[in-house]
Amino acid sequence: MRALRSKLTYANVISTLCLFLVLGGGAAVAAGQLGPNSVGSTQLKNAAVTGPKIKRATIEATKLTQLAINTLKGAAGPKGPKGATGAKGATGAKGDTGAKGATGAQGIQGVQGIQGPAGNPGAFATVLISPTVDFQGAHPGLAAVERKGLGDYCLTPLNGTSIAHPVASTNWKGSAGDAHFVEPLAGGEVQNCTAGQLEVLTYAMGTGPNAEATLSDSVSFTVFAPAG
């Protein structure tokens, strides 16, 4: 120890201190003079870059691995409210008419329905006045005819025959004289006949400027009462 102290002179201490400063200062200068892009993954030790050393908002999502992205993904949030119904879209163009399909097989005949009630056939007859009052030939819908007075005839319809809208005309061939007039009392209205009978009045037209029509037994007539 005494031998070491004997060799420590002022010059030796100063020399050693200068050498230390030169070496330390040179290392600091070298560290401060690193060129751009000269530090890579080889120069960095594992876990050398920690969270506090990373500046906020400097790492983009594209620089992260899928595992890191999945780790940072949060839990699904609650379901949001249903959105408003969108506006109705425009009607599309009408498509082409499809081809006509094949005719199907004819179905079996159905059961025949029950027969409905007979319809109203109406009534038709020609009444002759000579030699006696009677119908000429067929007289469908009418059962009998009789004279109730001068030019006044009552016709009896069969059951179900409508006489609501009668029409009558002169039968010229079976009448005497030239000018005649026939009046059926419409709608079942009667004067001298029984209710439900058809009454027909026959007239002969007079001659001269002041002539009047008068009831006459000399007029043959045809009567028609359509159904309904």
Query: Could you read off the pLDDT of 52-96 as tens digits, one per residue?
Result: 777 776 777 677 787 777 777 777 889 889 888 888 888 888 888
Q: Reply yes or no on whether the pLDDT at 27 is more than 90.
A: no
In a domain, 68, yes or no: no
Determine the 3-state secondary structure of 147 from DSSP.
Answer: strand
In a domain, 141, yes or no: yes
Q: Which residues of 124-146 are buried (b: 16+ CB within 10 A; e: fewer)?
A: bbbbbbeeeeeeeeebebbeebe
In a domain, 26, yes or no: no
**pTM for the whole thing?**
0.49
Q: Reply yes or no on whether the pLDDT at 121 is more than 60.
A: yes
For a pLDDT cut of 70, what percent of the chain falls above it?
77
User: Of 169, 151, 149, 147, which is closest to residue 225 (Cα–Cα)?
Assistant: 169
Q: What is the mean pLDDT of residues 122-132?
A: 92
- Which residue range(s) make up the domain with 201? 123-225
In a domain, 30, yes or no: no
For a pLDDT cut of 90, what percent of the chain falls above it?
39
Q: Are 224 and 200 in contact (CB under 8 A)?
A: no
In a domain, 140, yes or no: yes
pLDDT of residue 216: 95
N residues, the chain: 228
In a domain, 36, yes or no: no
In a domain, 158, yes or no: yes
Residue bearing the bigger pLDDT, 5 or 46:
46
Residues contacting residue 169 through CB under 8 Å, at least 6 positions apart? 182, 221, 222
Q: What is the pLDDT of residues 151-207, one digit of tens each?
A: 999 999 998 888 989 999 999 999 998 899 999 998 778 999 999 999 999 999 987
Q: Are 137 and 180 in contact (CB under 8 A)?
A: no
In a domain, 152, yes or no: yes
- Number of domains within the chain: 1
pLDDT of residue 43: 67
pLDDT of residue 7: 52
Cα–Cα dist 32/26, whole Å: 10
DSSP assigned state of 165: S
Cα–Cα dist 168/158, whole Å: 18
Q: Reply yes or no on whether the pLDDT at 111 is more than 50.
A: yes
Residues contacting residue 176 through CB under 8 Å, at least 6 positions apart? 218, 219
